[in-house]
């Protein structure tokens, strides 16, 4: 049975929810999300959202910092648009019920993070993402035009090209096939416009700060449907995730370094002064590479982040979430240093969108971490992603209603069929392939790359893609299998992009080409 909405939005993080709230003024909206509605990268964001809200700060300064972090690849018009919309976005979030932390005089308590020349990060304690997610979900749930469908896993986009429908427009998105996970049924959703807001792909790597949902599904779906993607070699590794056997992906926010945290080797010696005059506040790629280098040199598994010289009361008040979580893992950060390692954190590249937030596939819009807008260039400035997500959600919500009008598509859309596929009794195959991909991506396509390692990764992913293709069509779809297919697709695209860029720039560092080359001062665009 086909279900039709004016708009379907895939994903319920900050991008999907912000977009839903705006689109609901123009028609019916379904927000489809693969797990519980709050489960998203957004929910784990700690540091905050960057914006110029202080009279001591200037838009030009935020623009300059963003461009500098981006290593020559930012699209200046996009940077200017996103930064200028910042104060408006902050106000909008406040109107949706987000309460940012304020100092005693009532002004915003602004945090400072690496690469920012000013204190300009609005935060809600160190629970910023959770506070935003909760406020937006509450507004969405009380809106009569929006339906949230949890445990609805988007499998693939439905396009005119795939259906063999000939139109003036070469390829158009009509909706998506979606697995209703609880009822084990594949449903057909059609819409006037579809919005991808499926977030990032940290789970492509063995170590990541991202929660389990971040398997690059939107990116892989868009690619399979024929949309262009860009700059996927620029993967941001967060320098500091907690190193502990039981901590799956616990991030130690950059804000700790912003407030005076010092990185040290296990023998207590500090080392950042040897890498950058900005020391702990150098951009993340520099800090992550410095740690990677020190770890490779010493053979140790982790370095230390020391906060113990700061007053305990202050630390407890400023970082209650982190402090509590660390205590659960047996570390009192007011008294002892925190063991940390770098981990895959953020995808700067993604599905290409234009200034209308539309992808190269008509009627398919995108916002949030799944996109490549041109904002981040070769490296993302801390706390610019939540901002970008809302700015592009607003743009998508302004433009997508233009695609309404006329009757809902009345083409024959075949129901999903998995042919003779059978339930698999070999879950071990999925787990094995999954572990293999994440492990070679970490070792060969990680913080420091070489041609040899990238070619090794390429050989392995080609083999696995073949295996997965065969397995996929003979097995009934399940979330694990779908995610495996998607991380394999994203891994392949990251490897292709990394091989294309024969230089080191921003987050992409290849020992065989250690410097920047003017020839490569352009985006890595892949078209299916």
Ligand X SMILES: Cc1cc2nc3c(=O)[nH]c(=O)nc-3n(C[C@H](O)[C@H](O)[C@H](O)COP(=O)(O)OP(=O)(O)OC[C@H]3O[C@@H](n4cnc5c(N)ncnc54)[C@H](O)[C@@H]3O)c2cc1C
Q: How far is the CB of 241 from ligand X (least distance, A)?
A: 8
Task: List the one residue out of 261, 303, 304 whose CA is nearest residue 279.
Answer: 261
Task: List the one residue out of 440, 471, 409, 62 whose CA is nearest residue 70.
Answer: 62
User: Judged by CB under 6 A, does residue 70 bind ligand X?
Assistant: no
> Can you give the length of the chain in residues?
528
User: Judged by CB under 6 A, does residue 114 bind ligand X?
Assistant: no
Q: Going by C-beta distance under 8 Å and a sequence separation of 6 or more, which residues neighbour residue 88?
A: none
Q: How far is the CB of 126 from ligand X (least distance, A)?
A: 9
End-to-end CA distance of the chain: 30
User: Judged by CB under 6 A, does residue 210 bind ligand X?
Assistant: yes
Stretch that binds ligand X, among 43-51, 143-151, 296-304, 438-446 (CB under 6 A): 43-51
User: Judged by CB under 6 A, does residue 110 bind ligand X?
Assistant: no
- ∠ at Cα 121 (352, 334), nearest 5°? 120
Reported in sequence order, the residue ranges of 51-159 that DSSP labels E, i.e. its strands, are 121-122, 146-149, 152-159
User: Judged by CB under 6 A, does residue 177 bind ligand X?
Assistant: no
Q: How far is the CB of 229 from ligand X (least distance, A)?
A: 15
User: Judged by CB under 6 A, does residue 83 bind ligand X?
Assistant: no
240-259 residues near ligand X, rule: CB under 6 A:
251
Q: Candidates 8, 24, 29, 45: give the one binding ligand X (CB under 6 A).
A: 45
What residue spans of 299-426 are helical by DSSP H? 312-318, 320-328, 385-399
Residues identified as active-site: 284
State the binding string over 8-37 for ligand X (x if CB under 6 A, else -). Answer: --xxxxxxx---------------xxxx--
Backbone angles phi, psi at 355, to 5 degrees: -75, 0
**Dihedral angle of Cα 167, 171, 172, 176, to the nearest 10 degrees:** 130
Nearest CB to ligand X, comparing residues 20 and 454: 20
Q: Do residues 50 and 381 lie in contact, with contact meaning Cβ atoms separated by under 8 Å?
A: yes
Q: Candidates 9, 24, 41, 475: give the one binding ligand X (CB under 6 A).
A: 41
Stretch that binds ligand X, among 101-109, 205-213, 351-359, 448-456 (CB under 6 A): 205-213
Return the sign of the alpha-carbon dihedral for residues 226, 351, 89, 127. positive
Residue whose token pair is 């572990």: 435
Cα Rg of the chain, angstroms:
22
User: Judged by CB under 6 A, does residue 44 bind ligand X?
Assistant: yes
User: Judged by CB under 6 A, does residue 209 bind ligand X?
Assistant: yes
User: Judged by CB under 6 A, does residue 389 bind ligand X?
Assistant: yes
The Cα–Cα gap between 377 and 505 comes to: 10
Task: List the one residue out of 390, 368, 356, 377 whose CA is nearest residue 86.
Answer: 390
Nearest CB to ligand X, comparing residues 380 and 453: 380
User: Judged by CB under 6 A, does residue 364 bind ligand X?
Assistant: no
Q: Do residues 340 and 302 lie in contact, with contact meaning Cβ atoms separated by under 8 Å?
A: yes
The Cα–Cα gap between 102 and 410 comes to: 53
Q: Candidates 124, 154, 305, 477: give the one binding ligand X (CB under 6 A).
A: 154
User: Judged by CB under 6 A, does residue 283 bind ligand X?
Assistant: no
User: Judged by CB under 6 A, does residue 101 bind ligand X?
Assistant: no
DSSP three-state, residue 263: strand
Q: Candidates 171, 334, 363, 383: give the one binding ligand X (CB under 6 A).
A: 383
User: Judged by CB under 6 A, does residue 385 bind ligand X?
Assistant: yes
Nearest CB to ligand X, comparing residues 44 and 509: 44
DSSP three-state, residue 156: strand
469-498 residues near ligand X, rule: CB under 6 A:
none
Q: What is the DSSP letter of 172?
A: B
Q: How far is the CB of 448 from ligand X (least distance, A)?
A: 22
Q: How far is the CB of 217 from ligand X (least distance, A)?
A: 3
Residue 138 structure tokens: 């509450």
Q: How far is the CB of 159 from ligand X (least distance, A)?
A: 16
Nearest CB to ligand X, comparing residues 294 and 369: 369
Nearest CB to ligand X, comparing residues 199 and 374: 199
Summarize as ranges the residues that interact with ligand X (CB under 6 A): 10-16, 32-35, 39-42, 44-49, 128-129, 153-154, 197-200, 209-210, 213, 217-218, 251, 346, 368-370, 383-386, 389
């Amino acid at each position: 049975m086909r279900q039709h909405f004016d708009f379907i939005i895939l994903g319920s993080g900050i991008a999907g929810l912000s977009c839903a709230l705006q689109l609901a003024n123009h028609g019916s909206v379904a927000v489809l999300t693969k797990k519980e509605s709050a489960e998203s990268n957004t929910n784990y964001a700690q540091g905050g959202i960057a914006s110029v809200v202080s009279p001591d700060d200037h838009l030009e300064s935020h623009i300059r910092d963003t461009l500098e972090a981006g290593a020559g690849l930012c699209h200046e018009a996009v940077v200017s648009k996103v930064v200028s919309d910042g104060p408006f976005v902050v106000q909008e979030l406040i109107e949706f019920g987000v309460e940012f932390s304020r100092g005693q005089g009532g002004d915003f308590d602004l945090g400072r993070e690496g690469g920012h020349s000013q204190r300009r990060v609005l935060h809600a304690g160190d629970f910023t993402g959770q506070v935003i997610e909760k406020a937006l979900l509450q507004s969405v749930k009380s809106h009569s035009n929006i339906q949230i469908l949890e445990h609805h896993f988007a499998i693939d986009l439905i396009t005119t090209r795939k259906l063999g429908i000939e139109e003036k427009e070469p390829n158009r998105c009509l909706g998506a096939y979606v697995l209703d996970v609880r009822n084990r049924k594949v449903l057909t959703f059609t819409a006037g416009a579809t919005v991808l807001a499926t977030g990032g792909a940290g789970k492509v790597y063995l170590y990541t700060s991202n929660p389990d949902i971040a398997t690059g599904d939107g990116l892989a779906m868009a690619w399979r449907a024929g949309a262009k993607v860009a700059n996927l070699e620029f993967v941001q590794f967060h320098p500091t995730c907690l190193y502990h056997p039981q901590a799956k992906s616990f991030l130690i926010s950059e804000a700790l370094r912003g407030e005076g945290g010092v990185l040290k080797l296990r023998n207590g010696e500090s080392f950042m002064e040897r890498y950058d005059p900005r020391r702990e506040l150098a951009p993340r790629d520099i800090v992550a590479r410095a740690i990677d280098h020190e770890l490779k040199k010493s053979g140790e598994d982790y370095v230390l982040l020391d906060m113990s010289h700061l007053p305990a009361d202050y630390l407890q008040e400023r970082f209650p979430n982190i402090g509590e979580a660390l205590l659960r893992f047996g570390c009192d950060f007011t008294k002892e240093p925190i063991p940390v390692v770098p981990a895959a954190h953020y995808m700067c590249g993604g599905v290409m969108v234009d200034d209308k937030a539309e992808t190269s596939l008509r009627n398919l819009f995108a916002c949030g971490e799944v996109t490549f807008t041109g904002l981040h260039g070769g490296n993302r400035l801390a706390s610019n992603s939540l901002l970008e997500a809302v700015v592009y959600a607003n743009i998508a919500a302004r433009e997508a209603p233009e695609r309404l009008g006329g009757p809902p598509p009345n083409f024959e859309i075949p129901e999903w069929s998995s042919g003779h596929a059978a339930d698999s009794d070999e879950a071990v195959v999925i787990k094995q392939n999954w572990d293999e991909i994440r492990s070679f991506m970490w070792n060969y396509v990680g913080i420091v790359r070489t041609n040899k390692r990238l070619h090794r990764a390429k050989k392995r992913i080609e083999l696995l893609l073949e295996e997965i293709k065969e397995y996929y069509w003979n097995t009934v779809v399940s979330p694990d299998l779908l995610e495996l297919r998607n991380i394999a697709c994203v891994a392949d695209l990251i490897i292709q992009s990394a091989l294309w860029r024969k230089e080191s720039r921003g987050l992409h560092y290849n020992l065989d080409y250690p410097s920047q080359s003017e020839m490569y001062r352009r985006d890595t665009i892949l078209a299916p």
